[in-house]
Amino acid sequence: MRATDSISTGKLDWVAVSLYAGILLLGWLNIYAASYDEQTNSSLFVITKLSDLPPQMRQFIFICLSMVIIAGIMIVDMRFYETVAYIIYGVFIVFLILIPFVGKEVGGNKAWLGIGSFGIQPSEFAKFATALALAKLINSPGFKVDSIRNQGVLFALIFLPLGLIILQKDFGTAIVFLSFVLVFYREGMSPFLIIVGLCAAALAVITLLVKNNWYLHGAVSLIGLILVYLSRKKVKRILLVVVGALILSGIIESFDFVVNQVLPVRHKARLNALVNPDYDAMGINWNVTQSKIAIGSGGFMGKGFLEGTQTKFDYVPEQVTDFIFCTIGEEHGWVGSLVTITLFVSLMLRVLFLAERQKNRFARVYGYSVVSILFFHFTVNIGMTIGLFPVIGIPLPFFSHGGSSLWAFTILLFIFLKLDAHRSEVLQRI
SS3 188: coil
Confidence of residue 3 (pLDDT cuts 50, 70, 90): very low
Please compute the mean of the pLDDT values over residues 113-125 and round it to a whole number: 77
The count of other CB atoms within 10 Å of the CB of residue 65 is 14
SS3 236: helix
Residue 5 scores a pLDDT above 70: no
Cα–Cα distance for residue pair 333/208, rounded to 1 Å: 33
Confidence of residue 8 (pLDDT cuts 50, 70, 90): very low
Confidence of residue 429 (pLDDT cuts 50, 70, 90): very low
Cα-based angle 411, 140, 129 (whole degrees, multiple of 5): 20
Residue 395 scores a pLDDT above 70: yes
Q: Which of 70, 23, 84 is nearest to 418 (CA)?
A: 70
Residue count (the chain): 430
The count of other CB atoms within 10 Å of the CB of residue 115 is 7
Q: What is the pLDDT of residue 382?
A: 94
Q: Where are the beta strands (DSSP E) in 20-97?
A: none
> Over the stretch 319-340, which tens digit does the pLDDT of each residue have?
888 899 999 999 999 999 999 9
Cα–Cα distance for residue pair 395/381, rounded to 1 Å: 6
Confidence of residue 9 (pLDDT cuts 50, 70, 90): very low
Q: In what order do the strands lie in the sheet with 118-120?
A: 104-106, 109-115, 118-120
What value does the mean pLDDT of the chain take? 85
Please compute the mean of the pLDDT values over residues 85-110 and round it to a whole number: 84
Cα–Cα distance for residue pair 266/269, rounded to 1 Å: 5
How is 83-123 classified by DSSP, letter by letter? Answer: HTHHHHHHHHHHHHHHHHHH-EEETTEEEEEEETTEEE-HH
User: 267 and 171 in contact (C-beta within 8 Å)?
Assistant: yes
Alpha-helical runs (H) found in 298-402: 309-312, 325-356, 361-385
**Of the ranges 9-13, 154-158, 245-249, the best mean pLDDT one:** 154-158
CA separation (Å) from 26 to 42, 224, 318, 329?
18, 47, 18, 13
Domain ranges of the chain: 3-429
Share of the chain above pLDDT 90, in %: 43
Pairing mode, strands 118-120 and 109-115: antiparallel
